[in-house]
């Protein structure tokens, strides 16, 4: 089986590409591979571009694990996803997200956590559809959404599971801008190279100041909510349903 994530570097910019040949679901294998790629980007001290190949940016968490997986698998997958979103939100160098297709949770969480978010024009949707499929939105995800989404859209996204096309998703706060699909790669590269001219020490310190309170809050939520007991509770709830 090929690696679902590839990492490459060109000067001050690294590119992390998701491609599992399907919907780029956030399985534990995908999440672990993304963590390793961001490990390398941090060692290289590069601006990181996160993008994907295929029809989907990400189909979100692997729902098979939530519906039929064991307690340990559910815990490990959710923990790895929450830690990755928090890591991107607090990453010491800028992160650019380039979205070319559908972005369901957990993919939407990663996009919202990035510093500069570019969407390609196209017939696809982004959003947080948990309550439409019988899942309660995790607290860490709610706080990430609260930080990045506009107030007028926050409730619509989190509590009524609306999904949005790229242009309206800019208004909602998922993206910073939309470009023609043929220009997505170039736009992401140009943005990353422009960001690479920042003083990275100043960037990291300012990000820590600007996001410090929410990073601390999300850190506490992950530690309190996502424990081995979380998986056991979900499995027990499913068994009694």
**Is residue 240 scored above 60 in pLDDT?**
no
Q: Are 141 and 128 in contact (CB under 8 A)?
A: yes
67 pLDDT band, cuts 50/70/90, is confident
What average pLDDT does the structure give for the chain? 95
69 pLDDT band, cuts 50/70/90, is confident
**Is residue 163 scored above 70 in pLDDT?**
yes
**Is residue 178 scored above 80 in pLDDT?**
yes
- Rounded CA separation 74/62 (Å): 9
Q: Please give the share of the chain, as a percent, with pLDDT higher than 70.
A: 95
Residues facing 8 on adjacent strands: 15
**Residue owning tokens 């490459």:** 8
Stretch 66-74: mean pLDDT, rounded? 88
The phi and psi torsions of 150 (rounded to 5 degrees) equal -75, 145
Q: Please give the share of the chain, as a percent, with pLDDT higher than 90.
A: 90
**Mind listing the pLDDT tens digit for each residue in 15-44?**
999 999 999 999 999 999 999 999 999 999
- Rounded CA separation 8/16 (Å): 7
User: What is the per-residue pLDDT for 169?
Assistant: 98
Edge-to-edge strands, sheet with 56-58: 56-58, 102-103, 126-127, 163-164
236 pLDDT band, cuts 50/70/90, is low
**Is residue 237 scored above 60 in pLDDT?**
no
Q: Are 120 and 184 in contact (CB under 8 A)?
A: yes
Paired tokens of 50: 């996160």
**Mind listing the pLDDT tens digit for each residue in 181-192?**
999 999 999 999
Domains belonging to the chain, first-starting first, are 5-195 (3.90.226.10)
Torsion angle defined by CA atoms of residues 1, 30, 60 and 83, in that order, rounded to the nearest 10 degrees: 170
**Mind listing the pLDDT tens digit for each residue in 186-217?**
999 999 999 999 999 999 999 999 999 999 99
- Rounded CA separation 160/122 (Å): 23
Cα-trace Rg, the chain: 17
**Is residue 239 scored above 60 in pLDDT?**
no
């Amino acid at each position: 089986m090929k690696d679902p994530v590839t990492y490459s570097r060109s000067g001050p910019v690294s590119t992390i590409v998701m491609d599992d040949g399907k919907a780029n679901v956030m399985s534990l294998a995908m999440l672990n591979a993304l963590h390793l790629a961001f490990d390398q980007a941090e060692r290289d001290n590069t601006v990181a571009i996160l993008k994907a190949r295929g029809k989907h940016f990400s189909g979100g968490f692997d729902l098979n694990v939530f519906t039929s997986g064991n307690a340990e698998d559910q815990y490990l997958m959710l923990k790895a996803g929450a830690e990755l979103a928090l890591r991107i939100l607090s990453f010491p160098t800028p992160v650019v997200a380039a979205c070319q297709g559908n972005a369901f949770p957990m993919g939407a969480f990663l996009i919202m956590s990035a510093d500069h978010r570019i969407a390609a024009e196209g017939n696809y949707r982004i959003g947080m559809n948990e309550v439409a499929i019988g899942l309660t939105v995790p607290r860490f995800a709610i706080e990430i959404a609260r930080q990045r989404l506009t107030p007028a859209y926050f409730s619509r996204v989190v509590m009524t599971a609306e999904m949005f096309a790229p242009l309206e998703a800019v208004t909602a706060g998922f993206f910073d801008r939309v470009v023609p699909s043929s220009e997505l790669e170039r736009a992401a590269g140009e943005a990353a190279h422009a960001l690479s001219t920042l003083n990275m020490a100043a960037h990291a310190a300012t990000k820590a100041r600007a996001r410090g309170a929410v990073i601390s809050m999300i850190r506490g939520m992950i530690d309190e909510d996502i424990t081995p007991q979380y998986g056991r509770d979900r499995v027990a709830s499913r068994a009694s349903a």
